[in-house]
Amino acid sequence: MRNRSLRCHFLLLYLLVALMAGIVVPALGTWFSMKAFRAYQLQRRNDDFDNLKEALTALYEEEGGIWKHRRVMDILHPAPQWMGMKITLLDSNNRAVFTLPDPGPQMNRKGHNGRPFPPDDKKEDYEHIIIHLGRERIIGTLDIYQHIPSGRFEHSFLAYLTKYTLIGAVITIIIALWLGYIVAGRLSRPVITAIERTKQIAHGDYSTEETLTASGIRELDALTRGVGDLGRSLAGQEKLRRRLMTDVAHELRTPLTVAITQIEAIADGILEPTPERLALCVSEMQRLGGLIENVESLSRLEGENITLHPEVTDMKEFLAPVLESFAPLFEKSGINFSWTLSEKISCSIDRDQFRHVIDNLLSNAMRYTNSGGNVIVRLSGHEHNAVIEVSDTGIGISEKDLPNIFERFYRADESRARVTGGSGVGLAIAKAAVDAHGGKISAASVKGKGSCFKIVLPEV
Ligand code: ADP
């Protein structure tokens, strides 16, 4: 199929519709009306002949089996429908009893001008009809010549109609092309803009400023908005990717620099290799190891062939010991820690993976809540789902950061998170693990007031 522009398609379509509306529809309408009118005329004529046949037969019977010229004339003469016809009544021996003359100019009123009727050269203008009279036997015959209408009226009517149909069609086509041009312009403009925008995006230009103007057509506006959103989302992803690279590099460099500096100083004899210094080096290496482990488990969880070992687990029985193990740590930090766990809620979980998720939420709650604050854990059932909520009255997360906290290496509060030792992958790992379990994790937070992390897991 040839590749035509949207505008070209529209113009062709409108042209087709205009031709249909301006020519085809009126022409078909006229043709059908004429056909119906002719059928009606024929039907009327046949009805008239039937009535005439009936009247003449009745007359013949009334007169006792003879044709009375005068009475036949009474029936035929006054009727206007026999104008333009020559009707001859023949008796059963085929002798002419009565002739109704054609009142046309070529004959006198009685039709006795001696010339044959119809004239030989005009025979094709006349229709010859033979009607036999009588009920059981033939008592007579009507021999009729009917003038076929010349069609002059029909021709002039058709010519008139064609002329105005053509004028109408030309006007319709002009209007349709003009409308098509405008509509196609309105449709193609946003599409062209969206195409340009996608090309820009494909070339890596995610510039987020809104250049797309509304067209007033819902679907097209949704398309252009969608392209705009795509650009913005890719711009966001790109920003996160760059940030991820710098963060990973930074995370790796910090412990490495500390350890290298210490070891070099010891090697150069500047520092003594005291157990404390060596322990510091070991702890930095461990931090490095932990970070690499996090990155590994994240890529494993986000990879396609993640293998879970799920077991049907009573969630209360699973959570209670985890929470109890955290209680002394919260106490040490001066945070009030409590929980309410509903009974008989079972989910199919990989206990190890899930333990990491809960550990992460609890360590975050502890890390980002000041002494004197509260952390509450709730387990409840809702519409065949287990709902686990970890809420705190901590520092909260700003509206700007909230949508990104589940991204890898995203830290809302840079300085504090780094001081508190977070690397920004905990929530990304938690999300990947919950997703792999067919659940959902989300967060609600108000800066300065506290946060609530919610896991929804299908019950079994
Ligand atoms: P981190 O190891 O830095 O805590 P996470 O992925 O666990 O990394 O969390 C990402 C970011 O989300 C944190 O840096 C922090 O800014 C924010 N965050 C997570 N949990 C909380 C919380 N309970 N209160 C406030 N901020 C939080």
85-103 pLDDT, tens digit each = 788 889 888 888 888 764 4
Q: What's the mean pLDDT in 21-38?
A: 84
Upstream peptide bond of 118 is cis (omega within 30 degrees of 0): yes
- Tell how far CA 131 is from the center of its chain: 68
Q: What integer is the mean pLDDT of 378-391?
A: 95
Count of CB atoms within 10 A of residue 136's CB?
A: 5
Query: Has residue 117 got a pLDDT over 80?
Result: no
Cβ-proximal residues to 199 (8 Å cutoff; 6+ apart), any chain: none
Coil/strand/helix, residue 206:
coil
432 C-beta closer than 6 A to ligand 1: no
CA 400 to centroid of ligand 1, rounded, Å: 14
Q: Is any ligand 1 atom within 6 A of the Cβ of residue 350? A: no
All domains of the chain in start order, with CATH: 6-153 (3.30.450), 218-302 (1.10.287.130), 311-458 (3.30.565.10)
- CA dist 433 and 21 (Å) reads 63
CA 424 / ligand 1 centre spacing (Å): 7
Rounded Cα–Cα distance for residues 73 and 331 (Å): 131
Distance (Å) from CA 411 to ligand 1 centroid: 6
**Pick the residue with more confidence: 48 or 348?**
348
On the CB side of 164, how many CA atoms lie within 13 Å of its CA?
7
What integer best gives the mean pLDDT of the chain? 84
Residue 437: predicted pLDDT: 92
Pocket test residue of 393, 397, 398 for ligand 1, highest count of atoms within 8 A of CB: 397
Check pocket membership of 391 for ligand 1, CB cut-off 6 A: no
Strand (E) or helix (H) holding 453: strand 450-458
**Protein residue with least CA distance to atom 11, ligand 1:** 411
pLDDT in tens, 293-332: 877 877 777 665 567 889 999 999 999 999 999 999 999 9
363 C-alpha to center of ligand 1: Å?
9
Report the pLDDT averaged over residues 268-281: 89
Residue 5 · residue 188 · CB < 8 Å: yes
Which uninterrupted H or E stretch holds 144?
A: strand 140-147
Residue 208: is its pLDDT beyond 70? no
Cβ neighbours of residue 322 closer than 8 Å, sequence gap 6 or more? 355, 358, 359, 362
- Residue 172: name the closest of 16, 28, 31 by CA: 16
* Listed range (44-48, 88-92, 93-97, 410-414) with the worst mean pLDDT: 410-414
Measured from the CB, is residue 405 less than 6 Å from ligand 1? yes
424 pocket-lining for ligand 1 (C-beta < 6 Å) = yes
451 ligand 1 Cβ < 6 A: yes
Q: How far apart are CA 13 and CA 41, in angstroms?
A: 40
Q: Is 394 in the pocket of ligand 1 (CB under 6 A)?
A: yes
Query: Residue of the nearest CA to atom 4 in ligand 1?
Result: 422
Q: What are the beta bridge partners of residue 445? A: 451
Residue 245 parent element (H or E): helix 218-267
Tell me, using a 6 A CB cutoff, whether residue 362 lines ligand 1: no
pLDDT above 90 as % of the chain: 32
Ligand 1 midpoint to CA 126 (Å): 105
